[in-house]
A and B are shown apart, each in its own frame.
Chain A
Amino acid sequence: DTGVSQNPRHKITKRGQNVTFRCDPISEHNRLYWYRQTLGQGPEFLTYFQNEAQLEKSRLLSDRFSAERPKGSFSTLEIQRTEQGDSAMYLCASSLIRRAGEQYFGPGTRLTVT
């Protein structure tokens, strides 16, 4: 399978715990994006990487959130001290630089904070 993969698919955690999600993009894609989607809404941009460099972060990304893409391949999104408001679907997408507007999405990680 050469699509975007995300792990885990589902995560249930208690408020205050830390969680980490992983995204593996399509192998030749230089850009990687993270989005968050709450129920009944469209996805909202969180951050993006070009190769290993994190080039933009949304103001939605509070200090409790951190994302990395250490070798320009897979990426991780960590949420520290989770809150109930963090419950959402976290989506990863990747693209080529020259076709950056055409993004391919993974299946998402659904986070539930109890």
Chain B
Amino acid sequence: SQQGEEDPQALSIQEGENATMNCSYKTSINNLQWYRQNSGRGLVHLILIRSNEREKHSGRLRVTLDTSKKSSSLLITASRAADTASYFCATPQGGSEKLVFGKGTKLTVNP
């Protein structure tokens, strides 16, 4: 079963614009992670935010976490065509800390 739900399902923007994607989850978490997946490829780990953190930055990425609303957002600033990919949020669950993913947001950045 899916834990996170990303919103929107698809997003199309122009190069240079900012892209914001949202993720909602259902159960309590220790951390939340964002991954990127280029078409037909494996997942690339972007950023991890812990449950006691509210905001985290990495380069052009900014992630926020609101545990009271069980939601997170990923902001990509000054987008580039190379950012075109699907973005997934994931939360580790259970003793195995298996990752439970949402369906993803498909981002298209037009040059």
Contacts and interface: CB of A to CB of B under 8 A. Distances in A.
Interface residues of A, number: 28
A110 B40 contact: yes
The A interface, classified by DSSP as helix, strand, loop or mixed, is strand
B18 interface: no
Given A101-B33, A101-B92, A42 B42 contact: no
A104 B96 contact: no
A45 interface: yes
B42 A40 contact: no
A33 B45 CA distance: 15
A103 B45 contact: yes
A104 B46 CA distance: 11
Which range contains the number of B residues in contact with the other chain?
A: 20 to 34
B44 interface: yes
A107 to B, nearest CB: 4
Interface in A5-42: 6, 31, 33, 35, 40-42
Interface stretch (B52-60, B61-69, B76-84, B101-109): B101-109
Given A56-B98, A110-B40, A101 B103 contact: no
A48 B40 CA distance: 23
A34 to B, nearest CB: 10
Given A42-B88, A102-B48, A91 B99 contact: no
Given A102-B45, A104-B45, A43 B40 contact: no
A36 B100 CA distance: 12
A100 interface: yes
Given A41-B103, A42-B88, A42-B102, A105 B97 contact: no
A44 B4 CA distance: 12
Nearest to A50: B96
A43 B41 CA distance: 12
Contacts of A55: 96
Interface of B: 2, 4, 30-31, 33, 35, 40-45, 48, 88, 90, 92, 94-104
Closest 10 CB pairs of A and B: A42-B101, A101-B92, A100-B97, A45-B98, A107-B42, A105-B43, A105-B42, A101-B97, A56-B96, A108-B42
